Structure 1
């Protein structure tokens, strides 16, 4: 018989507060906190690097929608394509945060599925559009994103923890969580808190990159070093943490490695390439002309 006193019983209310009939979940609040911290840190970096304010103002618009759209499409297309591509209504659910009820009518659900790999792809496309329109060098923006991204990623994973989703495999380690709010198939068994593992590692990666930046100074931005370190460290960590996590979709059971690991490999390769080539890449920022 399971002795729950040996483990951490996890049953928070995922709803932070209500606005009328609409529920604001901790997941959305964690997203907002992560993006807000990233916003103010990015603002400070731009000022240190003497990039004009008018270049910074549109950046968060691109980042927010790039990350949100990419994360949503990534989840739908990477993990549940059979559902979301099966009908016109499901296509609408992929874009609009609603669910069509079987008996008719709709329910506002929020974006219940978001994938970090899709978010990275969305961010890269958004940054390309931003750089094309503002003429800020792409490697400068990517490096600044590399400095800031870890803290936002950590809060997103804390949101997953509050939702009792993306849970780990069954384990008997003393810090195992029993996710009573989880799906019936995973509740009442002690499991690895994979979301917490990721959040802690992302904070450590963020701190490490920030310390390197403070040592090397603003002039070091633009080589691709910080972007490369961020991408490599985060997705190497993600690759190995996946071994402690349950698969998210049934089709992954037949794969030698799960979808999260498969999608991490090219991002790790890009990160290593950015680090190796950073010494040969110098960007001169001159916005005074």
Structure 2
């Protein structure tokens, strides 16, 4: 494979400063988390301030309660995302090295785990504040895609989570020994699917635009659970499809399993991302169907 687009020369760090001998850096990935949370917060506040969007013109919470929920959501993202990565992707390593479980600064977060963490945090907060759960989940789902979009863009800038080798004209030549190790002939480069950008467009831009249109133009928030169902099923479907061209985690690749399938039989199977996406599709379909019945 000797064709492909060169990886853009973008540093993972916006800037770094040294104070008292300690190096502090602001990375694109951290900025993506911060910007995604802030944009999602403003979308949620804008939604609850428009009574006409909700059933019986009753938003699930007040704007100041959205700010309180934000703290719970941040905890859910961090704890759920980290524990999901530990349990879903590298349980043997972390059970043998429990001291590394909380070493988030070394990398390793799972979206599926983060989603579970956010749902659990939302359920706990709604129960404590006597807030109806389904409308609150709709509001949270409406606010999530911007963070997904920015997070996947940051993955691309970090040159991580790249896709499988490809001959397509938009394949990207990612830097690093691991990215360039795809069995090509000596002296040739390896171009890979920019799967981070596929996910940014599908899970972030497209899904986010659909949810905003349904909520603000089509009255979808009047059927509690509909927006949350479409988001969960939509993300699960997009992730399931992108997994076909996304490079699996190294721990799943074995001599008899070059595709890195977490479950397989006679050469056919599913990646871990696809396995985790199937329950999301089922849950999203359930929420959407029951919302229609309401």
* More off after superposition, 227-236 vs 182-191: 182-191
Whole-angstrom distance in 2 between the partners of 1:263 and 1:123: 16
Does residue 212 in structure 1 map to residue 214 in structure 2?
yes
Q: Displacement, 1:35?
A: 1.1
Corresponding residue number in structure 1 for 2:285: 272
**Structure 2 unaligned runs (5+)?**
52-58, 183-188, 254-259, 264-268
1:60 to 70, 80, 89: 70
Alpha-carbon distance between aligned partners in 1 of 2:24 and 2:160, rounded to the nearest angstrom: 21
Distance in structure 1 (CA, Å) of the matches to 2:250 and 2:234:
25
SS in 1 for 2:244: helix
Counterparts in 2 of 1:62 and 1:276: CA distance versus 1, 3 Å: same
8 Å contact 1:139–1:222 — kept in the other structure?
no
**Corresponding position: 1:128 with 2:138:** no
CA distance in 1, matches of 2:206, 2:151: 15
Q: In the alignment, what sits opposite 1:94?
A: 101
Identify the residue that residue 193 of structure 1 maps to in structure 2.
Answer: 194
* Distance change >3 Å, CA 228–CA 186, structure 1 → 2: farther
Structure 1 CA distance for aligned equivalents of residues 227 and 106 of structure 2? 30
Q: Given the superposition, is the C-alpha separation of residues 14 and 183 from structure 1 closer, same or farther in structure 2, using an over 3 Å criterion? A: farther
Shift of residue 13 of structure 1? 1.4
- For 2:274 and 2:85, the matched residues in 1 are separated by 14
Task: With the length of structure 2 as denominator, give the TM-score of the two structures.
Answer: 0.83
How many residue pairs match? The answer is 263
> Does the 8 Å contact 2:40/2:143 carry over to 1?
yes
**Equivalent in the alignment of 1:85:** 95
Q: What runs of 5+ residues in structure 1 fail to find an aligned partner?
A: 98-109, 282-289
TM-score (norm 1): 0.85
- DSSP 3-state at the match of 1:167: coil
1:231 corresponds in structure 2 to: 232
Find out whether 1:139 has 2:118 as its counterpart: no
CA distances 1:187-214 after superposition (whole Å, capped 9, x unpaired):
8410000000000112111101111111
In structure 1, what is the Cα distance between the partners aligned to 2:89 and 2:146? 25
**Which residue of structure 2 aligns with residue 13 of structure 1?**
11
* Preserved contact between residue 10 and residue 178 of structure 1 (Cα < 8 Å): no
